[in-house]
Structure 1
């Protein structure tokens, strides 16, 4: 399913309005689209999605139990300044210096669970943005 794009919107206006938004939004090159809750039809994730994310998070929790690493869930945004874009990966691991109040940059690890309703964006937008990040490492 293709997302409903809104915009154009400046990066500054996106950041200013994102905190007050009723639902999470991702931002790509001047346009934004809503995640769970924009349509008020599908809010949340499937049981399978939740199980996969929780299992990986539990494995990563012990690896990231160090002050120099930050483990983040989908509520914490990934900022890719070069694009410019903001995404909400299901899980991310950042070096602690790369963590701001509302987002992180230059992650070491990203997890995106693909579901039918998000497959287009996950495979056609996020995959290319994520795999271009030089900071990603194998854990």
Structure 2
């Protein structure tokens, strides 16, 4: 009787351990690295501000969850790496802060004075592009290039 009880205890313990390991593996979602190369930069002064958006609702909005980096320019190119992104759709925007005042300078009606761009080299009509035009899938480590408008 004790022997049977001991065997049943080991079987139950083994099943619980296996279930716990499966749940841990489900929680540990695979992540990827995204490298962004901004090319076609004419002036080497200032820095390039790069932002990565993970949702249509957050696109071009300054939120707490916004992934962003300020990058120096080397060889007329700015490169930023974002690590640990979950699989999904993302969009990128950037602007070249040529005068290094930490903001995008604009003309009347908010038209940018400084160079800018979006992933997929997307452009908008009478304003910025939509998330749908700039989005791309991150399902592996990826490098994307964006040209300055």
Larger RCO: 1 or 2 (CA < 8 Å, sep 6+):
2
Q: TM-score, normalised by structure 1?
A: 0.27
Higher strand proportion (structure 1 or 2): 2
Q: TM-score, normalised by structure 2?
A: 0.26
**Greater radius of gyration (CA):** 2
